[in-house]
Chain A
Amino acid sequence: DTGVSQDPRHKITKRGQNVTFRCDPISEHNRLYWYRQTLGQGPEFLTYFQNEAQLEKSRLLSDRFSAERPKGSFSTLEIQRTEQGDSAMYLCASSFEGLYGYTFGSGTRLTVV
């Protein structure tokens, strides 16, 4: 297991298009988190899963955002009808029960033009 993997690394899309990102966590980790980070800011929590259940979703997340984690393994984050304000780094992390530290992926940088 080589850590948390995110795909793609970079995505440029036109405003109004839909995009989907994928995250593959460390296999032993039952928790998976999505964060968003803009320049000069700390990561902003979006949502997290424990196994396949989505336990919490930030109020900052509009209805255009949806995340899934089928079978409790990889996760996808979809943004519909992208806006320029969605441009950010989208980070995925995994942990075991949130107790023993978090491991982050390299992130997906989204640019909406």
Chain B
Amino acid sequence: KQEVTQIPAALSVPEGENLVLNCSFTDSAIYNLQWFRQDPGKGLTSLLLIQSSQREQTSGRLNASLDKSSGRSTLYIAASQPGDSATYLCAVNDAGNNRKLIWGLGTSLAVNP
């Protein structure tokens, strides 16, 4: 059974720092992995999608990597800003589960001015 873990659960950093959020999964049979952002009381915004054949994806200050063999993904945020404060969720598109998303519990990020 696929399980997704995100570390740390919460993170507080000063503005301007580069930071890394971690996501691990137990079964490497995945189609892709997707990182989402969620603001309090809001829906989910897709940040980056990495297909299983890819190693990384970049969008602006965000870079996500995928190491399928070790069951790990990282989301790198460069030069963090207060507007980056949100919960970041990692979801694995599980090949063994009819392509449903399996979710981590998220990392709650606070970037302090």
Contact of A25 with B by CB under 8 A: no
Which of B43, B49, B98 makes the CB contact (< 8 A) with A101? B49
Which of A6, A97, A98, A107 makes the CB contact (< 8 A) with B100? A98
Contact of B31 with A by CB under 8 A: yes
Interface size class of A (residues with CB under 8 A): 20 to 34
Q: Is the CB of B100 within 8 A of A48?
A: yes
B49 to chain A, nearest CB (A): 4
Q: Is the CB of A104 within 8 A of B44?
A: yes
Interface size class of B (residues with CB under 8 A): 20 to 34
Whole-angstrom CA separation of A74 from B44 in the bound complex = 19
Whole-angstrom CA separation of A48 from B99 in the bound complex = 11
User: How many residue pairs, one in A and one in B, have C-beta atoms under 8 Å apart?
Assistant: 61
Q: Is the CB of B49 within 8 A of A104?
A: no
Q: Is the CB of B31 within 8 A of A102?
A: no
Q: Is the CB of A42 within 8 A of B43?
A: no
Contact of A8 with B by CB under 8 A: no
Q: Is the CB of B106 within 8 A of A42?
A: yes
Which of A42, A48, A100 makes the CB contact (< 8 A) with B105? A42
Within 8 A of B (CB), among A7-58: 33, 40-43, 45, 48, 55-56
- B16-60 vs A, CB cutoff 8 Å, 1 = contact: the mask equals 000000000000000110101000011111100100000000000
> Which residues on B are within 8 Å of A, measured CB to CB?
31-32, 34, 36, 41-46, 49, 89, 91, 93, 98-101, 103-106
Contact sample, A vs B, 9 pairs, CB 8 Å cutoff:
A6-B43, A42-B104, A45-B101, A93-B101, A98-B31, A99-B32, A102-B91, A104-B36, A109-B41
- 19 additional A-B residue pairs with CB within 8 Å, beyond A43-B44, A98-B100: A42-B91, A43-B101, A43-B103, A48-B100, A56-B100, A93-B44, A93-B101, A98-B98, A98-B99, A99-B32, A100-B49, A101-B34, A101-B49, A102-B91, A102-B93, A103-B46, A104-B44, A104-B46, A107-B42
